[in-house]
Structure formats: C-alpha cells, structure tokens
C-alpha cells in the first residue's frame, strides 16, 4: 500500500495511535523497506529510547542497525554525517532538542553544506529526530524550541508534526528525503493533544481525528502545509503543540479563523500561507519559541512583503517570552489561551 497524499488515506485501514507509536511505526516501516536506514542515539537501542520511540527496533533489526551511542551529540551527528557520506541513511536521535547544541557545528558546518561544498559528490541524507517544546515542567533544558537556529541554516530542512497521523507520514518522507532534515517532535503532545488548558484532565489521541493513523506505508510531502480548518476572519500560522492550543482558543471565542499547520518550516509552503492571508486579510503567528529572531519573525516578514495590500491589521506574533524557559512559572511563560486571546481580540478590533 503506497499512498502519497493524506487525503487519499481516508479509506485506508486506520487505528488510534499516539505520536510515539506513530513515530515508532514510521521507523519500523522505513527500516524494513531500506536496509541502509540505521538508528543511533543515547538509550535508543536495548532500552528503546527514553520516550519509547525506538522500542522493539533493536530486537527486530539487530544491533548493527539500531544501537546505543556514547553521550556525545557531536559524535552522534558527526558519525551520522560520515555514515551518510558512505551511503547509509542514518536517523540519529538527540534525546532533547535542548541538547542538540554540541552537535550544532556538525549540523551547520557539515551536514547542511555537504552537498553544496562538494558539488553533489557527497550528501548528508539523514534525519535528526529530537523531542522539543515545553508544557511538561521540563524547566530550562527540557523545554526549548530551537527551530529558528535551524531554519536560519541554508541546506537544512526543518519539520514539525502536530498529530500522530502527520508524524508518521512526515517522518517517512523525511527519512527518504535526500537532504538533511531536522525533525522536531513536540513531546507535550506525544500522548495526546494539548489545548493549553493545563488544569483540565489530559486527553489521549483516541478521540482526535489526527490520532487515526493509517496502517502501512504513506508519506506526507515535505514543504506542504495542512489547512487545519478553513475560515475567513483571520489566518493563524502555527505548528506542533500550538496548533491544538490555537484551535481551542479560537473555537472557544467563536472566531471563524483559518488555521494552517505549517508542518515544514523550511522549505515553507508559501503558496498556502499567501493564499490564506490574501483571503482573510489578517495574520496571527504563534510559536512556543522565544520571540526575538524566532521563526515568527520570518513568517511575519514574508506575510508583510507578499500580502501587504491585503492586510487589514498588523501581523500579530504570539510567542514565548525572551527568557530562558522557567520551571515554576511555566504557565506564565507558555503562549497559552490568554496571550493568544488578546492577540485575536486586537486583530478583530482593527
């Protein structure tokens, strides 16, 4: 069964999976299809990963294909670059996005530029998986959203899913892509969607349509956004956890917003973004990451450049504050319903 577009998957047999199970299934499927896919990272082997994303894979595919690594992110990424140069298709895991920085030189100076500087002689076909984002009382070093560091690097693709359905299809596409892909997994929604109302009981993916994951092999193309809901009052641009927060807030306020899940930040689906803002005339950008020079700034600038004469109000940005991610004041930091609500009100007033 090979399905290319998610819309055509409506009839495919599906069952409810959480995001971890969907990611595990994507890894399993690509490993079965391609003997060159190998997984390495801290605790990913025998134990199956601290979030269980690689559970069972070492047993199924052997220690040559799924193996634990030393605690050294520079080594994990650097070795993966060398494996990719050999011709493998490594899928290294960085346990938390907050710990990707020791591997940054290998990602920015090496993986991203391998194809360019060698004029295509060597490539770095690899997918770096890493849990990211806050909302779990992870404090400063288990909550960060460093996507803007990577969207700024020529040669890297950055992908962030918001549902188990998308996580599986996007991860398969990322692994099969011949460019290096940073695949950030919003760990707050590994087990269920999160609408920002942290006092409410947590939900599972069972009742959410995005938790219905088709069986077998399918890809969701990189560079294509998903229109979560159509609307006319304003365009909301978001990704990851913030899709669900935005949906809840706008539904509660009864605003007929068009919500777009970008899914891939680079290359961005500019056509979908532009068409939506031209239709609605207003744009709200939401992300968890800190504000200054965050990816929202790029989105805001693009919308301003390309939709200026359609805009009826300034582009609004709702983001994390420009502070390190705090522990005790997490919900004062997190761009939750109040902050989003204020921005929606400002846009509606104009």
Partner 1 sequence: MADSGSAPARSRGNLPPLQLHVPEPRFRPGDQVDYSHIVVPPAGAQTRPDETCDPIETKPLCVDLIRVLDDEHRAVGPWDPKLDPETLRRMLRSMALTRAFDDRLYRSQRQGKTSFYMKSTGEEAISIATAFALDREDMVFPSYRQQGILIARGYPLVEMVNQIYSNRADKLKGRQLPVMYSARDYGFFTISGNLATQYPQAVGWAMASAIKGDTRIATAFVGEGSSAEGDFHAAMTFAAVYNAPVVLNIVNNQWAISSFSGFAGAERATFAARAEGYGIAGLRVDGNDILAVYAAMQWAADRARANGGPTLIEHFTYRAEGHSTSDDPSAYRSVQEREEWPLGDPITRLMRHLIALGEWSEDQHAAMDREVAEEVKAATKQAEKNGILGHGMHHPFHTMFEDVFEELPWHLEEQADQAIRERRTKFPDWKPEVPESRS
Active site residue ranges: 142
CA distance 288 to 144: 8
Q: What single string gives the DSSP state of each residue in 204-255?
A: -GGGSGGGEEESSEE---TT--EEEE--SSEEEEE-THHHHHHHHHHHHHT-
Q: Which residue has the tokens 């777009």?
A: 260
In this complex, which beta carbon is closest to partner 1, that of residue 81 or of residue 128?
81
Min separation Cβ 306 and partner 1, Å = 10
CA distance 150 to 347: 30
Min separation Cβ 120 and partner 1, Å = 5
Min separation Cβ 78 and partner 1, Å = 3
Q: Are 248 and 196 in contact (CB under 8 A)?
A: yes
Question: Apex CA 224: angle with CA 103 and CA 116, to 5°?
Answer: 45
Structure tokens of 2?
């090979």
In this complex, which beta carbon is closest to partner 1, that of residue 90 or of residue 336?
90
Min separation Cβ 115 and partner 1, Å = 5
In this complex, which beta carbon is closest to partner 1, that of residue 58 or of residue 212?
58
In this complex, which beta carbon is closest to partner 1, that of residue 120 or of residue 254?
120
CA distance 125 to 175: 8
Alpha carbon 138 to chain centroid, angstroms: 18
Min separation Cβ 219 and partner 1, Å = 16
The residue ranges that bind partner 1 (CB under 8 A) are 38, 64-65, 69-70, 72, 74-75, 77-88, 90, 102, 105-106, 109-110, 113-123, 154-155, 157, 177-179, 223, 266-268, 270
In this complex, which beta carbon is closest to partner 1, that of residue 109 or of residue 323?
109
């Amino acid at each position: 069964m090979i399905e290319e577009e998610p819309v055509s998957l409506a009839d495919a047999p599906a069952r409810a999976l959480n995001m971890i199970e969907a990611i595990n299934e994507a890894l399993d499927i690509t490993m079965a299809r391609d003997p060159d896919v190998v997984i390495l990272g801290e605790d990913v082997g025998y134990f199956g990963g601290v979030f269980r994303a690689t559970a069972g894979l070492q047993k199924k595919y052997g220690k040559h294909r799924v193996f634990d690594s030393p605690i050294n992110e520079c080594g994990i990424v650097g070795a993966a670059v060398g494996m990719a140069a050999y011709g493998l298709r490594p899928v290294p895991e960085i346990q938390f996005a907050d710990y990707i920085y020791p591997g940054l030189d290998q990602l920015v100076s090496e993986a991203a530029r391998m194809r360019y500087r060698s004029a295509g002689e060597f490539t770095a076909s690899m997918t770096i998986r890493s849990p990211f984002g806050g909302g779990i009382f992870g404090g400063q070093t288990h909550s960060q959203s460093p996507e803007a560091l990577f969207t700024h690097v020529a040669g890297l693709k950055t992908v962030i899913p918001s549902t188990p359905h998308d996580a599986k299809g996007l991860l398969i596409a990322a692994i099969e892509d011949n460019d290096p892909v940073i695949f950030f997994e919003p760990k707050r929604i590994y087990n269920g969607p999160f609408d920002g109302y942290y006092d409410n009981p947590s939900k599972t993916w069972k009742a959410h349509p995005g938790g219905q994951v088709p069986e077998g092999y399918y890809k969701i193309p990189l560079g294509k956004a998903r229109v979560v809901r159509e609307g006319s009052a304003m365009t909301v641009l978001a990704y990851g956890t913030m899709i669900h927060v935005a949906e809840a807030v706008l539904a509660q306020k009864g605003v007929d917003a068009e919500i777009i899940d970008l899914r891939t930040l680079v290359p961005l689906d500019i056509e979908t973004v532009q068409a939506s803002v031209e239709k609605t005339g207003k744009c709200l950008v939401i992300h968890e990451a800190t504000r200054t020079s965050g990816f929202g700034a790029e989105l805001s600038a693009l919308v301003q450049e390309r939709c200026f004469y359609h805009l009826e109000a300034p582009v609004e940005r709702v983001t994390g504050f420009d502070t390190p991610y705090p522990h005790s004041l997490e919900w004062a930091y997190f761009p939750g319903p109040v902050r989003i609500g204020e921005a929606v009100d400002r846009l509606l007033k104009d």
